[in-house]
Chain A
Amino acid sequence: MSMNSADLINNAEKEWVWNETPLLKVRGLSKQFGAGCIHCKQPTSDEQEGSRCQYCGSIWACRNLSFDLYPGEILGVVGESGSGKSTLVKCLYFDEETTVGEMSISSYEDKTSNLFEKSAQQKRYIRNHVMGMVYQNPLLGLRMPISSSGNIAEKLFAADHYHVGSIRQRAADLLQKVEIPLARMDEPPKNFSGGMQQRVQISKALANNPPLLLLDEVTTGLDLSVQAKVLDLIRNIQRELRVAMIVVSHDLGVIRMLADRTMVLRQGLIVEQGLTDQILEDPRHPYTQLLVHSLL
């Protein structure tokens, strides 16, 4: 039950070593909404078939998704609304229960066990120690009436830190990193602008130095100038902390700016994936071509 603020800071800046082992491995992730029927027991991987069952109306929002994420890498997930990209990150963060599939994280336990099968208590531990999540809607990630420092403290309590002085130091450091004036660290996020709320959310997600950060449409709905600032901040954090990220966006501009590699999702299927530059310069799949051209 003890915390040493020096430890926290050292952890944050620990040596990052290139590693060929993926940090995150996802295999065959599928998510169905609705009761399902005999016609839609399995998700099809046929692009010609839609994700909605014509018999019972159930939807396979994610169909058999498999991918890896390496330490320190940013993976972009792009697609129009309804493509399953938000459902994907919600499954990874256990906000949605995954229907079938496996996920392992190399920094957790034996590196290979399927995290979707863990108990609720273990999932909570993983959410608090191994992952951070930033939602499009800050209401989901922040307690609006509680102080900003308290929002960060909440994450630290979950990791057994109970020294108010050290917690406040850590909160101050994190808020400073996301450029929130320290004099406002005890103000509740409800007093803040949308851009500031998003930055507080990012600092909260980083509280326990997770190796993996999930960002779901974090700049959607923000003014363009504010968007640019938040994106800058995310890049700086990635450089400084070497945290691996999955960035979900419908906006190819955001993907272009942040992602090393990109997956294109359509109707719950990965239709194309590869280096971001390659996908943007030389899209192969007709759907990706459409997306890229509509951007231009």
Chain B
Amino acid sequence: MSKDLNMKVNVLPVLTYNFLHVNDSALQISDLNIETLSSPKAKEIPAGVTLKEGVSFEEAGKLFLENKDRILAPKEDTVFPNGDTSSRDASQAIRTGMGADVDDLMIGMGVTTDVYTVDEGVKVEKPIIIRYDCEDGKGSLSSQVIHARKDSEVTVIMAYTSDKEMSGFQGVSTRLLAEDGAKINLVKTQTLGNGYVHFDDIGGACFKGGQINLVTLELGGCKVWSSAYVTLSEKESVFNSNMGYLCREDHSLDMNYVADQRGKKTESSMQFKGVLMDDAKKSFRGTIDFKNGSSGSVGDEQEDALLLSDNVVNKTMPVILCQEEDVEGRHGATIGQLGEDLLFYMQTRGIEEDEAKRIMIKARLESVARMIPDAEIMQKIQYYIQNIV
């Protein structure tokens, strides 16, 4: 099926100066050939996990709509920030990083959703692995919902690969609900070919003591959108995100990560480590949003971007929004090339500059790769990193 995409995605939770061109991102592709409208099947479904296949995108969203009041935990006396954009994506069953245009695409194209439900109290030890072995010239859209019932725990690995020279389109929506005391670990590795356009739109919510942990490695593709919006709805819920990225040649990477902290004593930690090479372009938006009622919450966001070419474009928007007195929010960014002191130190130990750079790229990416809880995928990723650098 041929399709033209003209979407506005990754809208910043609050608008800022238009001249920075970071308020949103345009996902525009003409004459896209989309053949596949469902997810590949997981190799193995562990005991305690139910997989319901082929559910319509809207039907799968009902899980979130039915819990909307719990998820949004609306408060009186809310004062909105300047340039607030929250109403734009309010139609979504659950807010996602890329926003409502992805939902509209999924619904319009008739994409089906695979719904994984983890039974109450079940702690699944073995990860569920979903492999996307993408082919040349193909286009696909897919959608998952991962629902961890009370006190359950599950790890899902989504691995997107294709040969280095391949082109195509792959878009995915992943929606997560971690109920009371439940934990969802979502690991995403992306090593698509140099001509691949890819988007990964994540949205999630945590109830009391619930936890969502993301580990993301964006290493391939020519145009990539990678985003997550996690709502910490209730007390003591937690969102951790660790991301490693590599963007090279004339590729682009556009990110929008939001920790929406509504419950008391919630915690968010978002760490981004990346490398830009050649003529790469990257836009990073990271927001910690302390809503009123989130007293006792903490949020931390760090970006460490290593720029290895004089032609890269690096845009960074680390935002903190706050309408709560008793919170601690912090963000930091270090952006630049390898420090002269570090280079000098390495050279005094006989390591040439190029080798030192290789070591530092590997160190950054492998620190995230080591979090992959599957030995085979981890080795493949490490091998991929080794080959690239």
Chain A complexes with chain B: no
Residues of B within 8 A of A (CB): none
